[in-house]
Structure 1
């Protein structure tokens, strides 16, 4: 294996180590955010919010058995919400992250290799005495460099402390069942009292001014005071005139005498022969057809 190949292998190995450390840091930050958000949701009694949502109120009091453990629906739902919020925040924090250059990081940690490592790597495909000597000298120096040297120990300590803190806080809240006075009902009431935001009890009439006399349009009682409307500039009284409704009110004294009918004169029942036989009939069949109709009329 040539010196150039050894140098490429070194850079590739250290680059994989740096990426692995970065992924672990991101995962740890994601877990810390999830625990912190879940703790806050418990403190403000957000598990009671599911009973306020019509689509979820049937599931608010349900529980599920998972590996001999009973987990409530609100616990699962809050955990999923915390994971979702934490995932969004983590993606926003690292959406413009740039790849870390292992060469620059190595030169920063080992000043003796400054400019030498990048020069040797950039010219590794050249074959001359100067470049070959530079590559071999750099390779000798890299023998003292281990992957653990690229681990950000300060950041690791901060993440470790935050992880212990959030885990402990969540454990205390769950064990002691500690909650604040903030509730979803109170939040909803505050939101409903914000000017310009209608609540569920408001009606469209509340947002339109009524008439000067206090009567609201569309709520007149036709059996009460007379109602006057304006049609093409003229006032029209829609009240029912006195006495006009008497035909619709039963008095209980209606005339129950049945009207007398005179029967029509009766006629004597007799037999009549149908004149159909006098019509033009086929020749030779007149007597037969005539006798047939005569039999029908008997």
Structure 2
């Protein structure tokens, strides 16, 4: 019994691996043909002319299986195969991989949980396990290997493959190609200004000036200082490199004003009259005489 359940699971597992290989091949073929058709339509063969490494080989033809194939065609085939291989590997890696038991239990509810339990306990010898394995073997006989085949997936890959082949046949028959070329892509890349590039910075020229739009001095030094002289506002600025002090940015007439000397002022001390207001009546003359005597001493 144990050997029989193990053979059933191994047989279905082998069929499942074959179908998975078929899926990978179908995905790879469809991706390769679609990419190659796009490369031909977009004139991607011109990309080999953009690199000096391939210049000695461009235009050369090689005889393969009695057919003359240009170097550019071989290059496009190689590029399409590499990219399709990468895409197929990514899709296969991200795909949900179920084992044969999971598929069988999903397709046949009668085997759900029973088949996995019987397979995990196939080395156990008791009446319960033997009865379980016997029932699973009987219920597994109607199962066909075609249950593992994903017909929708294969139909989709087949449809894409037929479309790509028809497109390539149309291009080969009519010679139709788009006006796009890798040179157009190169021109677009050259016109793109990347952040941090020197084009958006102010560069210093040889004569000490700066390239780009001139900047206003007010933006560099802020609002100009304003002072008031005899009721007239005077605009003062500190230009770069002017040194210490203030200079007026406006030119005007110079006024030569002369100063007139005032008369001689009597330097003898005089008593202030302010204290008279707060002196009490009757003592004013006595206090005044006292302070006058202090001033004479």
The TM tier, using the shorter chain, reads 0.5 to 0.7
Secondary structure at the aligned position of 2:193 is classed as coil
Secondary structure at the aligned position of 2:98 is classed as coil
Select which of 73, 76, 85 maps to 1:75. 73
Q: Does residue 156 of structure 2 align to residue 158 of structure 1?
A: yes
Q: Does residue 17 of structure 2 align to residue 19 of structure 1?
A: yes
The aligned counterpart of 2:129 is 131
The aligned counterpart of 1:192 is 190
Separation in structure 1 between the aligned mates of residue 90 and residue 113 of structure 2, nearest angstrom? 34
CA contact (8 A) 2:30 2:158 kept: no
The aligned counterpart of 1:91 is 89
Distance verdict in 2 for CA 1:112–1:37, change over 3 Å: same
Separation in structure 1 between the aligned mates of residue 63 and residue 189 of structure 2, nearest angstrom? 36
Distance verdict in 2 for CA 1:67–1:207, change over 3 Å: farther
Secondary structure at the aligned position of 2:93 is classed as coil
Separation in structure 2 between the aligned mates of residue 209 and residue 42 of structure 1, nearest angstrom? 48
Q: Does residue 205 of structure 2 align to residue 210 of structure 1?
A: yes
- Unmatched 5+ stretches in structure 1: 198-203, 217-298
Secondary structure at the aligned position of 1:195 is classed as coil
Separation in structure 2 between the aligned mates of residue 157 and residue 88 of structure 1, nearest angstrom? 22
- Unmatched 5+ stretches in structure 2: 212-297
Separation in structure 1 between the aligned mates of residue 101 and residue 188 of structure 2, nearest angstrom? 56
Separation in structure 2 between the aligned mates of residue 44 and residue 209 of structure 1, nearest angstrom? 43
Distance verdict in 2 for CA 1:213–1:149, change over 3 Å: closer
Distance verdict in 2 for CA 1:122–1:196, change over 3 Å: closer
Separation in structure 2 between the aligned mates of residue 89 and residue 187 of structure 1, nearest angstrom? 23
Structure 1 residue 170: Cα displacement: 2.1
Separation in structure 2 between the aligned mates of residue 115 and residue 40 of structure 1, nearest angstrom? 48
Separation in structure 1 between the aligned mates of residue 130 and residue 164 of structure 2, nearest angstrom? 53
Structure 1 residue 174: Cα displacement: 2.5
Separation in structure 2 between the aligned mates of residue 7 and residue 25 of structure 1, nearest angstrom? 27
Separation in structure 1 between the aligned mates of residue 54 and residue 118 of structure 2, nearest angstrom? 64
Distance verdict in 2 for CA 1:4–1:213, change over 3 Å: closer
Separation in structure 2 between the aligned mates of residue 157 and residue 57 of structure 1, nearest angstrom? 42
Structure 1 residue 188: Cα displacement: 1.3
Separation in structure 1 between the aligned mates of residue 49 and residue 94 of structure 2, nearest angstrom? 39
Q: TM-score, normalised by structure 1?
A: 0.64
The aligned counterpart of 2:166 is 168
RMSD of Structure 2 on Structure 1 (CA): 2.6
Per-residue displacement from partner, 1:124-167 (whole Å, max 9, x unpaired)? 12222222112111111111112112111221221221221222
Secondary structure at the aligned position of 1:145 is classed as coil
Separation in structure 1 between the aligned mates of residue 41 and residue 95 of structure 2, nearest angstrom? 33
The aligned counterpart of 1:65 is 63
Q: TM-score, normalised by structure 2?
A: 0.64
Secondary structure at the aligned position of 2:54 is classed as coil
Secondary structure at the aligned position of 2:62 is classed as strand
Distance verdict in 2 for CA 1:188–1:175, change over 3 Å: same
Aligned residue pairs: how many? 208
Secondary structure at the aligned position of 2:69 is classed as strand
Separation in structure 2 between the aligned mates of residue 49 and residue 150 of structure 1, nearest angstrom? 43
